[in-house]
Amino acid sequence: MCGRLNIIADPLIHIVSDALGLTFNTQTSLDLRPSEGIAAIAAKAQQLTQVNAHWGIQPQWSKKLIINAQVETAATKKTFAQAYHHQRVVIPCSGWYEWSSAPTGTKQKYLFSHKRAKPLFMAGLQLIDDDGQPKFVTLTTSPNPWCADYHHRMPLLIPSYHCQQWLRAESQIDNVDFTATMQDWLTVKAA
């Protein structure tokens, strides 16, 4: 799920900077892949700051790169619990890709993006690897009925006005179900 991202630097850098009150900078990558560098926003010392890191972790016990964590279990899983409670991030992007055989019947790549070309803010976690380097995983959730037609998971998307609450791990945000409103924000097209 959500194994590729779409990043369009302009207007993303301007909109994110204005919406979150910081100077955000990123590079355009129309097909950003796991293990590649990505820009995220974190809260440090009561201020929002940009953190650049690679997407995905590979713990010693895993034979493959882990790029996503399920939000339903991240708070209690040993690999993610510390980051879930203390090192949350949002990853601004222009969209994400899914490969699906629905509704056409043949495997097709689809781009999910905001209907009005606004940034999407994916919830994520920052983890530190064995070399002390930051890495990110994105959080996934159950899809709304519309996204379920394409995949059994979708990113946990945070509205811009809730980003600071999410980043500061304020408990009331944990129980908000954003997936129901995502249908109003999203558009999908064959890529």
pTM of the predicted protein model: 0.90
pLDDT by residue (tens digit) across 87-122?
A: 999 999 999 999 887 666 788 899 999 988 899 999
Is the pLDDT reported for residue 174 higher than 60? no
The mean pLDDT value of the chain amounts to: 88
pLDDT of residue 172: 54
Is the pLDDT reported for residue 179 higher than 60? no
Task: Answer whether 56's CB lies under 8 Å from 101's CB.
Answer: no
Task: Answer whether 154's CB lies under 8 Å from 2's CB.
Answer: yes
pLDDT by residue (tens digit) across 128-170?
A: 887 788 999 999 998 887 788 888 899 999 988 889 889 988 6
Strands (E), the chain: 4-7, 29-32, 37-44, 47-55, 68-70, 88-93, 95-100, 108-114, 120-128, 134-141, 154-155, 186-190
